[in-house]
Amino acid sequence: MNLSILINLIMAKIQLNGSKLELKKKYSIFTLLKKYKVDSKKAAVELNGKIINRNRHKSIYIKNKDKIEIVHFIGGG
């Protein structure tokens, strides 16, 4: 099997907040937030133009060419 085909089977090329990167396809939205140390209770996630409800973060897995935007809220006064 060609190495590039094998890599495509296990890796996803995505866009995260405008930056392109590669991640293992087994990443869920929850795992992605955890990797970047973002508290899911204080963040909104948009996947391919749609807001993802927090209770679905563990069940939605990243796919090749996904576009993800993460906005986290910071309190202050």
* Burial annotation 31-54 (CB, 10 A radius, 16+ → b, else e): bbbeeeeeebeebebebeeeebee
What integer pLDDT is reported at residue 25 of this predicted model? 77
Write out pLDDT tens, residues 12-57.
889 999 999 988 878 899 999 999 999 888 899 999 999 999 999 9
Alpha helices in the chain (DSSP H): 3-10, 29-35
Mean pLDDT of 58-68: 94
CA distance 76 to 33: 22
Domain annotation for the chain: domains and CATH numbers: 3-72 (3.10.20.30)
Mean pLDDT of 4-19: 78
Phi/psi of residue 62, nearest 5 degrees? -70, 135
Band (pLDDT 50/70/90 cuts) for residue 2 is low
Q: Which residue has the higher pLDDT, 51 or 72?
A: 51
Residues β-bridged to residue 20: 15
